[in-house]
Structure 1
Amino acid sequence: MKGIKGKARVLLVGPLPPTKGGMTTFMLNLMRSHLADEFEFIGFTTSRPPKPNAVDNWGYRAIFSGGIKRAASGILVTLGHLLKFPAVVLARRIEVIQIQSPDYQAFWEACIYALMARALGVPTIMRIGGAFDAFVGQSGPAARWMVRQALNLPQIVIAQSALSQDYIVAAGRRGRIIIVPNWVQQPTQLPPFATPTEPPVFLFIAGTDARRKGIEDVIGAATILAAEGSPARFQLVAMPQILQDRVAELALSNILAVEGFLEHEAIFERMRCATALLLPSYGEGFPNSLIEAMAVGTPAIVTPVGAIPEIVRDGGAITVPVADRRALADAAHRIATDKELRSRLSSEAVDIIVHNYTAHKALTVLEASYRSLIAARSQQNETPRTDS
């Protein structure tokens, strides 16, 4: 049975608002994409209570990053989601299930959904995100065996890049893998720094993974440049209160603004006005913030983690070593003082997005995968059973 106006129903399992982050953005973008003309996307949230003051929401310890009470409520909410899931699949007559699967404990949670989907006989796609390579690399032999079994539960696995595909194969996936990067709906090709921002402002987006994103290195670089009299200035957004208080105590003259959590459109607007995005991360999957900034001509300073080297291999960014505050400071100073460099990086950034990371380019293979799974299931259901 088809959904609205004959559309096939696809259940998207993952964190939905009020949760923010890359997986949430991916799900919302998919629901708003041109694929919604053919498929009815139904969101199934796995979101838990927020952690408003978390700064290190990565790894297994993230369970307790919001405190014991938050951990207990999160477990109860998760159990409620798991119990509700089969009823939603059956009641809504779901034809394909797509599960967003990051790393660490959230990966194992995604695997439970994949097991239930398999038991219900619904074709399943699992999208691997987060710092999957670090997660597997830090796992012991028993956990790696379990990861290998889990990766072979769904009919299709989505990798975010060619590099992440290699990680998934190395982790034990034997079946079909497709590459679906993050994308932007409509890149806005602004004149590349036709009126350069003065003073040059470098934007850092913290979030609840601020330490993994490199907040300590950003503060360290800002301290270096303040002492050296560089014209570079810094704007820090999505900062938990504990970090806002810490930056206020430092009283660095080159930090122009420190803001808390903002709506996506507000962050996007700050990207438009920034001289460059700072992403000195210690671990990434495929960062939405990077391609969103590049789409509006804002270059970046990045570290070579996750899919980032693949995204910026043709330019649009300066790459610095992980945890190297001196290199980060030097790169910011170069961009701040070299308008020609800024212009070149801006043009490269927009070109990269236009040629690689628009919806129609990114989603072609996913659209074909939905169709193939639905057709295979339909054929299986229509094949008459013969008694021996």
Structure 2
Amino acid sequence: MKILMLGASLQQNGGIATVENLIIQHIPNDVKILHITTHAEGSIIHRIIIFIQAITKFLGQILTQKVDAIHIHLSDGGSLVRKAILVILSLPFHKPVIMHAHGAEFEMKYQKFPQCLQKGLSYILQQCQGFIVLSETWEKYYIDNLGLNPNRVFVLPNPTELPAQIPQRKNSHPVSLVFCGRVGERKGAFDLITAFANLPEDQKKSAQLTLAGDGEIEKAQQLAAELKITEQVNFLGWINSQQREQILAKADIFILPSYNEGLPMAILEAMAWGLPIITTPVGGIPELVINQQNGLLVQPGNIQELSTAIALLIKDEKLRRDLGIIARNNVEPYDINNYCQHLVDIYSSLSEFHKSRGIK
């Protein structure tokens, strides 16, 4: 089986590229994936050139090679327009098209499009034979708002790799708090810094906060300086997967107080490392993180609630460890090998359906 996969550059920062790389690395050997980059960071001119090159490569492959299915990764905003163009270009070739929706802010950005454009984009997406979403919450949203056929929508939460062993995390001092993601408002990075600064002095001195990710780092550093917690907060910038594993292995608590999410890879990775999670009930998160079971849920923007949750886990080692153990157990079904098998089943079912209708 040969699959054309179209999406973000494999070298790009972020969750979509992480998922793409995991799929390519772990897909069974009898499935061949050719990845075509449709978006890469850079100037507008650079991004336009990348997309034109993607169209050229896509048409070249589908015209000259046997292709069983087309797997398109979708974010939000401009990504929706680009991917709609690719769907239109796919239609004459009668190949199964699978749209894979990741965008955390899809709903907010989609609403800003003019009504006529919304209707047009919805109609185009309805032509896809399969539509992968990250959670049941997003499944309902896409069916209700884009008019998708429920029988063509597949819930496939993001995957993760499971470390063979996780640390015991006993007698940690200082207690290590970790945030992984783009530093900015959407991920709640500024709320986290403020909530940490609001901790009682003894707890601040017994903890260390690490933020790993690119974004508005200077603004975050300035906030930490204003709140006089510079010595207790580390900013690492963007880190690679090996560095991330090292940080998660040494961490005691993982925090991601986002305002909008799909299903964050960062939370899955932290749970795989047996970490208790402090996060918000947005997007697909509440289907993964259960309050007082494998983590603590706080409302987006509620700094006092976030500070209270952090304080609770700093002072209660047993609770940290208990939540972390359950988090690890809960995330095991999200193992990348299970995920790839589900993905192959989707590819196969759609390909066979096309063949049964006499479409080659």
* TM-score normalised by the chain length of structure 1: 0.83
Gaps of 5+ in 1: 1-7, 51-69, 384-388
Structure 1 residue 334, shift from structure 2 partner: 0.8
Give the % identical residues: 23
1:22 equivalent to 2:22? Answer: no
Report Cα offsets for 1:30-60 as digits up to 9, x if no partner: 1122x3322001111123234xxxxxxxxxx
1:84 aligned residue: 57
Structure 1 pair 318–140 and aligned structure 2 pair: CA distance change class (3 A) = farther
Structure 1 pair 188–294 and aligned structure 2 pair: CA distance change class (3 A) = farther
Check whether the contact 2:10–2:20 (CA below 8 A) recurs between aligned residues.
Answer: no
Structure 2: distance between partners of 1:232 and 1:327: 18
Range with greater deviation from structure 2 (211-220 or 78-87): 78-87
Tell me the number of residue pairs that the alignment of Structure 1 and Structure 2 aligns: 353
Q: 2:159 aligned to 162, 174, 183, which one? A: 183
Structure 1 residue 235, shift from structure 2 partner: 0.6
| 1:1-388 aligned within 5 A | 8-33=1-26, 35-50=27-42, 70-131=43-104, 132-171=106-145, 172-174=147-149, 175-193=151-169, 195-207=170-182, 210-225=184-199, 229-230=203-204, 231-240=206-215, 241-243=217-219, 245-246=221-222, 249-250=225-226, 251-253=228-230, 255-313=232-290, 315-354=293-332, 356-379=333-356
Report Cα offsets for 1:212-251 as digits up to 9, x if no partner: 1111101211221275753332011123453465357445
Check whether the contact 2:11–2:17 (CA below 8 A) recurs between aligned residues.
Answer: no
Structure 1: distance between partners of 2:359 and 2:325: 53
Check whether the contact 1:200–1:336 (CA below 8 A) recurs between aligned residues.
Answer: yes
Report Cα offsets for 1:96-151 as digits up to 9, x if no partner: 11000111111221111111122222211001111233334555533432342132
Partner of 2:237, secondary structure, is coil
Range with greater deviation from structure 2 (335-344 or 311-320): 311-320
Structure 2: distance between partners of 1:258 and 1:154: 42
Structure 1 pair 81–143 and aligned structure 2 pair: CA distance change class (3 A) = same
Match of 1:267, as an amino acid?
R
Structure 1 residue 186, shift from structure 2 partner: 3.0
Match of 1:342, as an amino acid?
R
Range with greater deviation from structure 2 (317-326 or 143-152): 143-152
Structure 2: distance between partners of 1:298 and 1:348: 9
Partner of 1:212, secondary structure, is coil
Match of 1:130, as an amino acid?
G
Structure 1 residue 71, shift from structure 2 partner: 2.6
Partner of 1:169, secondary structure, is helix
Report Cα offsets for 1:45-79 as digits up to 9, x if no partner: 123234xxxxxxxxxxxxxxxxxxx2333233323
Partner of 2:178, secondary structure, is strand
* TM-score normalised by the chain length of structure 2: 0.89
Range with greater deviation from structure 2 (129-138 or 173-182): 129-138
Structure 1 residue 256, shift from structure 2 partner: 3.9
What is the CA RMSD across the aligned residues, in angstroms? 2.4
Structure 1 pair 133–343 and aligned structure 2 pair: CA distance change class (3 A) = same
Structure 1 residue 162, shift from structure 2 partner: 1.2
Structure 1 pair 248–281 and aligned structure 2 pair: CA distance change class (3 A) = closer
Gaps of 5+ in 2: none
Check whether the contact 1:226–1:252 (CA below 8 A) recurs between aligned residues.
Answer: no
Report Cα offsets for 1:236-294 as digits up to 9, x if no partner: 11234534653574451453421111112211221121111111001000111101100
Match of 1:30, as an amino acid?
I
Structure 1: distance between partners of 2:121 and 2:165: 42
Structure 1 pair 335–248 and aligned structure 2 pair: CA distance change class (3 A) = closer
Structure 1: distance between partners of 2:59 and 2:269: 35
